[in-house]
Structure 1
Amino acid sequence: MPELPEVEALAAFLRERAVGRTITSAAVTAISALKTFDPPLSALAGGAIAAVDRHGKFVDLTVGRDPGAEVVDPGDAVGAGPPVHLVFHLARAGWLRWFDEVPKTILKPGKGPIALRLKLDDGSGFDLTEAGTKKSLAVSVVRDPNAVPGIARLGPDPTAPGFTLADFQAVLDGRRTQIKGVLRDQSVFAGIGNAYSDEILHAARMSPYALAAKLSPEQVLTLFAALRDTLAEAIATASGRPPADLKDAKRRGMQVHGRTGEACPVCGDTVREVRFADSSFQYCPTCQTGGRPLADRVLSRLLK
């Protein structure tokens, strides 16, 4: 699943390639991917892309205003009417495929991995694709991005310049839940998923099962530094890369996530895995759990 660093890189890529361009067509081929009906998808055609933003793991294209026109009143439309937002979430198996020249092949609804195709006035554009049979990619056309439920419930962005150690401590206070789950909860921290929560906890030398509310001030400081440093490094690694390169760059940068059975790059111990019904995580026993393995079963608990 693309997480905060990759989604930020995708948003930056689209800012460079798409802002200022006019949408000539937008077509959904996977009906289940389109989560809204008002405004209709057709409202995008003829609109200029004025901005591209990221909200957690969501990409938000502001469409409708002439980006070169002066806007006096935010509610005053220029050209195609009030702006609308094309918002998408790539979920677990989704991705963005960019074309300098969009293929002329005719898309068949319900066939193949393409969920949406968007074409711009210079012939460029992109497909949103999703592999596998479990379809979770989501596309919304809204007047306000906060109308998307997933955006409305987001917690703070942990990479924001104004997000401080005190803010981090305040979020953790009173949460008697395992820190792995806290980091992944989008209503707590926007944008961190399974992979980077593994990496952050490894960098902090912390068990995934440590209780958030019981962390000492020193542990909170260490975890905060690990969170900021890990995400900053991943964002820097992803920056400037085209979408086609981002997945491999992410995999290469992982220390423990997705590396079950390999040697920990810090201590040399074997990276272990805990599996659940629909997910898994990886960790290093020496670095994170005092050399003790975690039980690999649903509802496993730290061996004491």
Structure 2
Amino acid sequence: MPELPEVEALAHHLREHMTGKFVERIDLAAISAIKTFDPPFTALQGLSVSGVGRHGKFLDIDVDGIHLVIHLARAGWLRWSDELPKAPPRPGRGPLALRLHLDDGSGFDLTEAGTKKGLAVYVVRDPHEVPGIARLGPDALGIDAASLKVLLATQSGRIKNTLVDQRVIAGIGNAYSDEILHAARLSPFKIANKLTDEELDVLASAIVQVESDAVARSVGQKAASLKAEKRTGLKVHARTGLPCPDCGDLIAEISLADKSYQYCPTCQTGGRKLNDRRMDRLLK
């Protein structure tokens, strides 16, 4: 799933390549991807792109005051092209959901792999009309220890789950929450509102440092290389069974439903492995 660093990099890329250009047309290949009807997506045609921003994991393309807001969900992606095919795509064929053409022939495809569709596109006059944006907590890049203490004061769940709750902190997903907890040397099973002041200080610094470092690595990369860049920068996530780069212990994994997350027993849980079936109460 694209998270804050990848979405920030996509926003940077689109800002450089789209600003000042006109939307020639939009081809909708998957009707289910569009979540709004007023204004219609055809209202963007003939208008110029005035800016591109980000709200958490949402992309926001400002087209003369009408906003094309995109959430890539778990399996969505944006593929930029300097020269798009001119023929309209066939609806319902392949992973293509939407194609946006600019007046110079460039543009992008929104694609989504798999059968479980979550990619969402909104055309709104104000980004905060998008329910997911209206519910966002403060952005992860702006967190400090004092604000984190306030945010976590009412959170009685595990810190892993709290970090990925966009209503608490915007932008952190499954992969970078693993990296943040590893950097902070915290168990994913720690209870959010039970963290000490010292742990809050370390966690706040880890959030900003991990996300900022990932943004620095990602911005300037082409969209096609962002996924590979993300993988090369990860220390624990998706590295089950490999040695921790900090201590050499083997990275362990917990699988829950359709997600899994990773941690280092030595660095984070005092050498103990957490129960994979949630049957114990280790390190709460």
**Shorter-chain TM-score above 0.5:** yes
Structure-2 separation of matches of 1:26 and 1:34: 12
Change in Cα spacing, 1:143 to 1:179, as seen in structure 2 (3 Å) is same
Which residue does 1:151 correspond to in 2?
A: 133
- Distance in 1, Cα, partners of 2:86 & 2:124: 28
**Corresponding residue number in structure 2 for 1:69:** none
Q: Deviations over 1:25-79 (max 9, x none)?
A: 0121111111011100100100100010100000001112xxxxxxxxxxxxxxx
Give the aligned partner of residue 100 of structure 1: 82
Q: 1:209 is matched with which residue?
A: 189
Local SS of the residue matching 1:32: helix
Cα distance 1:300–1:8, how it changes in 2: closer, same or farther (>3 A)?
farther
SS of equivalent residue, structure 1 residue 159: helix
Distance 1:219 1:22 in 2: 49
Aligned twin of 2:25: 25
In the alignment, what sits opposite 2:254?
274
- Partner Cα separation in structure 1 for residue 229 and residue 235 of structure 2: 12
Per-residue deviation, residues 140-199 of structure 1 (Å, max 9, x unmatched): 101111111000000000213xx4321111111132111001100000000100000000
Matched, 1:294 2:274: yes
Deviation at residue 104 of structure 1 after TM alignment? 2.8
Counterpart selection for 1:244 from 201, 218, 224: 224
Measured against aligned partners, the alpha-carbon deviations of 1:210-269 in whole angstroms (never above 9, x if no partner) come to 011111110100111111110110000001111001000000100000001111111111
Q: Secondary structure, in 3 states, of the residue corresponding to 1:273?
A: strand
Report the secondary structure of 2:54's partner residue. strand
TM-aligned CA deviation for residue 303 of structure 1:
3.0
Aligned to 1:192, what secondary structure does the other structure show? coil
Identity %: 58
* Whole-angstrom CA distance in 1 between matches of 2:154 and 2:77: 37
1:123-134 to 2 correspondences below 5 Å:
123-134=105-116
Distance 2:30 2:281 in 1: 42
Q: Over aligned residue pairs, what C-alpha RMSD do you find?
A: 1.0
Contiguous gaps of at least 5 residues in structure 1: 65-82
Q: Contact 1:198/1:256 (CA < 8 Å) preserved in 2?
A: yes
Query: Which residue pairs with 2:208 in the alignment?
Result: 228
Do the aligned residues in 1 keep the contact of 2:68 with 2:122 (CA within 8 Å)?
yes
Supply the distance in 1 between the matched residues of 2:106 and 2:133 (Cα, whole angstroms).
28
Number of residue pairs the alignment of both structures matches: 283
2:10 matched to 1:38? no
- Show CA shifts across 1:118-138 (max 9, x none): 000111000000011111000
Structure 2 length as normaliser, TM-score? 0.97
| Correspondence 1:303 to 2:263 | no
Indicate if the aligned counterparts of 2:30 and 2:96 stay in contact, CA closer than 8 A.
Answer: yes
Contact 2:160 2:188 (8 Å CA) reproduced: yes
Structure 2 residue ranges without an equivalent (≥5): none
Q: Distance in 2 between matches of 1:209 and 1:300?
A: 12
Give the alignment's TM-score, normalised by structure 1.
0.91
Please list every run of at least 4 consecutive aligned residues from structure 1 whose deviation after the TM superposition is greater than 4 angstroms.
none
Is the CA contact 2:189–2:282 (under 8 Å) kept in the aligned structure 1?
A: no
